[in-house]
């Protein structure tokens, strides 16, 4: 008997992707950031943490949903992207602006250096930090950095990380769309598998009806 697993579309494995690792680091660091800077503003803290959590959870849910629905996968990936790029990002911008701190332009020297550091899990061969200072040691050290860095550095580090997460999810969403257009979804695969089975059994009658009609009768 054909393995039932072969009926399903490729799914899972999102934890290995950079588009999951960066939002996960953003979520962990957001918890630390809010604990440090919004200890007396429970409402803002809860909103930011929930937006960061939504980014991570919807990626994993979408990865699982891909087994039977490419549309659900894309929808959940877009929810993750929106939670980070349209919600959490604005909260970090507001934090900097409302505290009279500078929002680094995306092409500034500081932002480019921060983005390059975040592009690595662990940045090698860093010089030691100056007395009383702290260095970002890569994506894996983001939480530690925002816990110790000056508010402007911590806020802009989070902006860079959230922007990176949003960019990766946008690229992933585009890739999912092209995959769906080129290969179809679960309904098409199930119908194709059924037709192949009928051909191998010698029972194919060249039925050209709509796949969805055939499935509704199954």
Could you report the per-residue pLDDT of 25-36, keeping only the tens digit for each? 999 999 999 999
Per the CB < 8 A criterion, the answer to whether 90 and 96 are in contact is: no
Kindly state whether residues 61 and 152 are assigned to the same domain: yes
Are 214 and 177 found together in one domain? no
Mean pLDDT value across residues 35-52: 96
**Which range marks the domain in which residue 190 is found?**
185-218
Average pLDDT estimate for 127-136 = 72
Give yes or no for residue 12 having a pLDDT over 50. Answer: no
Indicate whether 121 and 13 sit together in one domain.
Answer: yes
**Residue 194 and residue 172 share a domain:** no
Answer yes or no: do 193 and 172 share one domain: no
| Judgement on whether residues 36 and 110 belong to the same structural domain of the protein | yes
Mean pLDDT, all residues of the chain:
80
Average pLDDT score over residue span 197-215: 53
How many structural domains are present in the chain? 2
Question: 80 and 120: one domain?
Answer: yes
Whether residues 158 and 211 share a domain: the answer is: no
Do 168 and 199 lie in a common domain? Answer: no
Name which residue leads in pLDDT, 199 or 81: 81
Shared-domain flag, residues 193 and 116 = no
Residue 198 belongs to some domain of the structure = yes
Helix pair angle (151-183, 70-82), 10° resolution: 160
Pair 147, 65 in one domain: yes
In a domain, 2, yes or no: no
> Is residue 67's pLDDT more than 90?
no
The answer to whether residue 31 is domain-embedded is yes
**Residue 91, in any domain of the structure:** yes
Longest dimension (CA), the chain: 80
83-87, 172-176, 214-218, range with the lowest pLDDT = 214-218
* Predicted confidence (pLDDT) per residue in 192-201, tens digit: 555 566 666 6
Q: 191 and 162, same structural domain?
A: no
What would the mean pLDDT of 154-181 be, rounded to a whole number?
88
Q: What helix, strand, coil percent values describe the chain, rounded to 5?
A: 70, 0, 30
Report which of residues 93 and 189 the model is more confident about.
93
């Amino acid at each position: 008997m054909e393995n039932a697993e072969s009926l399903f579309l490729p799914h899972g494995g999102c934890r290995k992707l950079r588009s999951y690792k960066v939002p996960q680091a953003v979520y962990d660091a957001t918890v630390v950031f809010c604990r440090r800077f919004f200890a007396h503003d429970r409402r803002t803290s809860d909103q930011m943490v929930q937006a960061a959590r939504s980014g991570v959870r919807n990626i994993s849910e979408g990865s699982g949903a891909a087994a039977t629905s490419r549309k659900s996968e894309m929808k959940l990936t877009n929810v993750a992207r929106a939670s980070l790029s349209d919600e959490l990002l604005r909260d970090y911008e507001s934090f900097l602006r409302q505290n009279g701190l500078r929002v680094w332009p995306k092409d500034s020297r500081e932002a480019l250096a921060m983005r390059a550091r975040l592009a690595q899990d662990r940045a090698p061969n860093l010089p030691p930090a100056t007395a009383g200072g702290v260095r970002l040691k890569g994506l894996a050290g983001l939480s530690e950095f925002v816990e110790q860095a000056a508010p402007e550095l911590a806020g802009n580090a989070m902006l860079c990380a959230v922007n990176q997460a949003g960019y990766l999810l946008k690229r992933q969403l585009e890739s999912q769309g092209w995959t769906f257009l080129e290969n179809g979804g679960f309904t098409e695969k199930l119908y194709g598998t059924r037709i192949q089975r009928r051909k191998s059994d010698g029972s194919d009658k060249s039925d050209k009806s709509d796949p969805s009609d055939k499935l509704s009768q199954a």
